[in-house]
């Protein structure tokens, strides 16, 4: 094999970003080189998301483009990996552009699958046949070994790394396809996680983000002890070199408050919580199988703010869920006003094949109403964020610098000698300021001068 070039395109969540990074590092060790251009690639891998229909449509659009390229370059290898690959399996392999289909649990096989496809021009299918069955020990060990061998910060932001603590999901929210494409919850051994974080710290990583589909349900039993996420936070806090620790995403129906105690007691644990509500209507929450009421959710936020007074909270919402009435949506607006989020993410409901909602509930909210509710909910949150963020100008905050801004828009002429940089606070606020590029990956103190609903602006202190 020569030095074939691989192009990787990734869609979806942080879990997918981590998978793409692992695959990229494994391919590099196998002798491949990465390229940012499809035109230069011998093989193209698309890491896919199935959470929303729009994400899958974008993948099919890319495959249509690659089909066109393969008409003049028939030796180009195209692989579809990730959640969409697991969901569609052999059906996806029938696409004229596709040579490889590999689900999330089969990522350790990808270097060999790519090598074989380039050499033999064969088609390969590698998915989990019984996705909800408990994975066997050999499969779990292969994934853990792959994680340990190829994890790095190379494809992420300087000084930051993602660390998976568990795989899969057992919640079965009726709108969500994740349990059917990533399988049941499996927590990784704490020793493997901590060893991985120590390795990352030795390479200069300052911030780690612990990942799980429902990260707060992490549970691993060894001997007579069961380890929880709070235990992981304590163990990670003892690692020299690690300065900030984050975790995402949490489910409000299964939240152990010892996690909040750890956040309050451990200076390295960032006071930030991403905890989706999805709706403010109890009727809709029941139809979603979320297993809490709006009142219980708001009561939890009150407890979180009592235990961690400086905590910043972000939420997710779905608008236009089947049967959502104007009254249901009004209840969601009311919850957003009461919750006083730092920010929210809003998604228009789209039915996902095989989920409870798709099987049993009619998608009866017109698209126009979904769009209107999406815009309205974001406008409500923008008002809240704008008012809340006015307290920041004049304060000096510590940020971890991520690098140069992709869209410079502040004091450009005034600071010609320094580019505009992006950093984040411990509470996950985006801060824009001018400074030397050499600050990327390090901490800086920024005096804030201006605030918008989503961004804070300032100058190096």
Give every CB contact of residue 118 below 8 A, 6+ residues apart in sequence.
1, 4, 42, 43, 75, 77
CATH, domain range 396-460: 2.40.50.140
pLDDT (0 to 100) of residue 65: 96
CATH fold of 5-126 reads Rossmann fold (3.40.50)
- Lookup: tokens for 277: 């509500």
Rounded to whole angstroms, the Cα distance separating 116 from 130 reads: 25
pLDDT (0 to 100) of residue 408: 63
Rounded to whole angstroms, the Cα distance separating 15 from 13 reads: 5
The strand pair at 430-434 and 420-424 is best described as: antiparallel
CATH fold of 154-270 reads Transcription Regulator spoIIAA (3.30.750)
pLDDT (0 to 100) of residue 413: 46
- Lookup: tokens for 389: 């963020």
Q: Element (H or E) spanning 373, and its range? A: helix 367-389
The full set of domain ranges for the chain reads 5-126, 154-270, 274-389, 396-460
- Lookup: tokens for 414: 């005034």
Rounded to whole angstroms, the Cα distance separating 439 from 6 reads: 30
Whether 5-126 shares its CATH topology with 274-389 is answered no
Rounded to whole angstroms, the Cα distance separating 69 from 214 reads: 39
Rounded to whole angstroms, the Cα distance separating 162 from 196 reads: 10
Question: Concatenated DSSP letters for 348-362?
Answer: E----TTSHHHHHS-
CB 421 within 8 A of CB 432: yes
* Tokens 């920010």, located at residue: 343
Strand partners, 8: 45
Residues for the chain: how many in total?
461
Rounded to whole angstroms, the Cα distance separating 411 from 421 reads: 12
pLDDT (0 to 100) of residue 190: 97
CA-angle at 318, arms to 316 and 322, nearest 5°: 155
CATH, domain range 274-389: 3.30.750.200
CB 395 within 8 A of CB 448: yes
The tens-digit pLDDT sequence of the chain (461 residues) is 568 999 999 998 989 999 999 999 999 999 999 999 999 999 999 999 999 899 999 999 999 999 999 999 999 999 999 999 999 999 999 999 999 999 999 999 999 999 999 999 999 999 999 999 999 899 999 999 999 999 876 656 899 999 999 999 999 999 999 999 999 999 999 999 999 999 999 999 999 999 999 999 999 999 899 999 999 999 999 999 999 999 999 999 979 999 999 999 999 999 999 999 999 999 999 999 999 999 999 999 999 999 999 999 999 999 999 999 999 999 999 999 999 999 999 999 999 999 999 999 999 999 999 999 999 999 999 999 999 999 999 999 999 999 998 876 554 545 557 899 999 999 999 999 999 999 999 999 999 999 999 999 999 99
């Amino acid at each position: 094999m020569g030095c074939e070039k691989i192009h990787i395109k990734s869609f979806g969540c942080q879990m997918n970003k981590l998978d793409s990074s692992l695959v990229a590092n494994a391919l590099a060790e196998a002798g491949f080189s990465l390229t940012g251009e499809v035109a230069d690639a011998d093989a193209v891998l698309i890491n896919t998301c199935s959470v929303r229909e729009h994400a899958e449509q974008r993948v099919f659009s890319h495959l249509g483009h690659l089909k066109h390229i393969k008409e003049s370059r028939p030796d180009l290898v195209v692989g579809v990996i990730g959640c969409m690959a697991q969901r569609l399996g052999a059906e996806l392999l029938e696409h004229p552009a596709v040579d490889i289909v590999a689900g999330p649990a089969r990522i350790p096989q990808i270097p060999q699958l790519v090598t074989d496809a380039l050499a033999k021009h064969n088609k390969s299918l590698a998915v989990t046949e019984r996705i909800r069955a408990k994975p066997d020990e050999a499969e779990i060990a292969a994934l853990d070994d792959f994680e340990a061998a190829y994890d790095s910060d190379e494809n992420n932001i300087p000084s930051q790394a993602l660390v998976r603590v568990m795989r899969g999901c057992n919640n079965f929210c009726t709108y969500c396809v994740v349990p059917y494409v990533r399988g049941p919850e499996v927590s990784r051994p704490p020793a493997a996680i901590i060893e991985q974080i120590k390795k990352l710290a030795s390479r200069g990583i300052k911030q780690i983000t612990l990942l799980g589909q429902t990260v707060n349900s992490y549970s691993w039993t060894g001997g007579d002890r069961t380890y929880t996420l709070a235990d992981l936070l304590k163990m990670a806090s003892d690692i020299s070199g690690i300065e900030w620790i984050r975790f995402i995403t949490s489910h409000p129906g299964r939240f152990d408050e010892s996690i909040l105690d750890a956040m309050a007691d451990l200076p390295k644990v960032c006071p930030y919580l991403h905890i989706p509500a999805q709706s403010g209507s109890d009727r809709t929450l029941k139809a979603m199988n979320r297993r809490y009421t709006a009142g219980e959710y708001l009561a939890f936020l009150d407890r979180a703010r009592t235990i961690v007074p400086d905590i910043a909270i972000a939420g997710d919402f779905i608008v236009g869920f089947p049967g959502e009435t104007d009254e249901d949506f009004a209840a969601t607006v009311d919850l957003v006003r009461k919750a006083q989020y730092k920010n929210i993410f809003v998604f228009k409901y789209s039915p996902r094949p095989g989920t409870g909602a798709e099987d049993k509930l009619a998608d009866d909210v017109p698209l126009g109403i979904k769009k209107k509710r999406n815009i309205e909910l974001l406008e409500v949150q923008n008002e809240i964020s704008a008012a809340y963020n006015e307290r920041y100008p004049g304060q000096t905050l510590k940020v971890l610098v991520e690098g140069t801004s992709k869209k410079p828009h502040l004091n450009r002429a005034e600071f010609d000698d320094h580019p505009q940089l992006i950093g984040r606070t411990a509470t996950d606020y985006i801060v824009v300021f001018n400074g030397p590029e050499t600050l990327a990956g390090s901490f800086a103190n920024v005096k804030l001068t201006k605030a918008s609903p989503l961004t804070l602006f300032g100058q190096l202190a």
